[in-house]
Amino acid sequence: MSARVSTTRRKVGFGDCDPAKIVYYPNYFDWFDRGSHQLFEEAGVSMRVLEERLGILTPIVDVQCRFASPARWDDEIDIASEVTRWGSRSFTVTHRITQSATGDLVAEGAESRVCVRSEGENNAEIKACAVPEEVRAAFGITDT
């Protein structure tokens, strides 16, 4: 596990909500993905660096969310993201969304991602590969 945590504060907008003015559930998955991207960017190995310089993509192979309480239009929420599991070819990023004012849990979830490289004719196939050492080092991980 890494000690690095990335936290984003955002105000829930009208467009984030369903007709009952609570956050429409797919938005949590969007915020999880954005949290992962920000976490890696803050570590100095953005998803763009992974793709363009290292030839690595990190597709999500599993995602989960548990909803604890509603977030509503105009609420301020904090989205905290951290890598909680490193495998040889994959990793898990967990996310915790809380009310900024009270710290009350709104939702928590996890994304499992795998490192892949494009192969074959026109890069039409993908194949799992090792998490690059540069990524491990950026998160302070020295062993598998």
The predicted structure's pLDDT at residue 121: 72
* Domain assignments of the chain as residue spans, ordered by start: 6-138
Q: Is residue 39 within 8 Å of residue 82, measured between CB atoms?
A: yes
Residue 2 has pLDDT above 70, yes or no: no
Note the pLDDT tens digit of each residue in 61-97: 999 999 999 999 999 999 999 999 999 999 999 999 9
Query: For residue 63, which phi and psi values (nearest 5 degrees)?
Result: -145, 140
Note the pLDDT tens digit of each residue in 7-31: 999 999 999 999 999 999 999 999 9
The CATH fold of domain 6-138: Thiol Ester Dehydrase; Chain A (3.10.129)
Q: Across the chain, what does the average pLDDT equal?
A: 94
**Gap between the Cα atoms of 81 and 29, Å rounded:** 12
The predicted structure's pLDDT at residue 141: 86
Q: Can you give the pTM of this predicted structure? A: 0.91
